[in-house]
Amino acid sequence: MSPTIGVLALQGDVREHVAVLTSLGVDAVGVRRPAELDAVDALVIPGGESTTIDKLLRAFELDEPVRERLRAGMPAYGSCAGMILLADRIIGGIDGQRTLGGVDITVRRNAFGRQVDSFETDLVIDGIEDSAQDPVHAVFIRAPWVEEVGPAATVVGRVADGPAAGRIVAVRQGPALVTSFHPEVTGDPRVHRLFVQIVRDSL
């Protein structure tokens, strides 16, 4: 059965995620309302501005429905801001900023610096079998990193070299996957393919 994967369509790289998922042969739809959330098997939370997405989740009355689906085991993938929103704990958030939770990690917001500190690097991602020979090219834009990983979560990607060597940038917990980087902008569909497989395995 082909899953229907929603992309939270409040702010951020929505079209880019929809395009990659569609190229992989799944039905990808924007989610802005609780009824649209009810119709999907999984949810992608795109990169963007985590504080803005948090406010819009509340304004569109989506925050509690998404939390309920996550608690019920809905697969979810978050890139950059999406990683922040799926984290159980956040460092460097603004006053009143909330997360949806679901992944037992502490993230540091804007950890890699400002827009001018954006960078690219190659990564080996556990679960992407050929990434040791053919690394995943990762684009980091005002990205968070994972400061702490709790016992429920598993590190699946770290920066290999440079000033950020060793920093955790990809984590999986059951049907949830989060990355600090933006795979939707590189033309490499392997991170999305991994998530699609996670979704299929959960159905």
CB atoms within 10 A of CB 156: 21
CB-CB contact of 84 with 106 (8 Å): no
Secondary structure element (H or E) that encloses residue 133, with its range: none
The token pair that represents 2 in the structure block: 């082909």
Residues with catalytic annotation?
Answer: 80, 182, 184
Strands 176-179 and 168-173: antiparallel
For residue 145, the cross-strand partners are 108
CB atoms within 10 A of CB 99: 21
Nearest-angstrom CA–CA distance, 171 and 80:
12
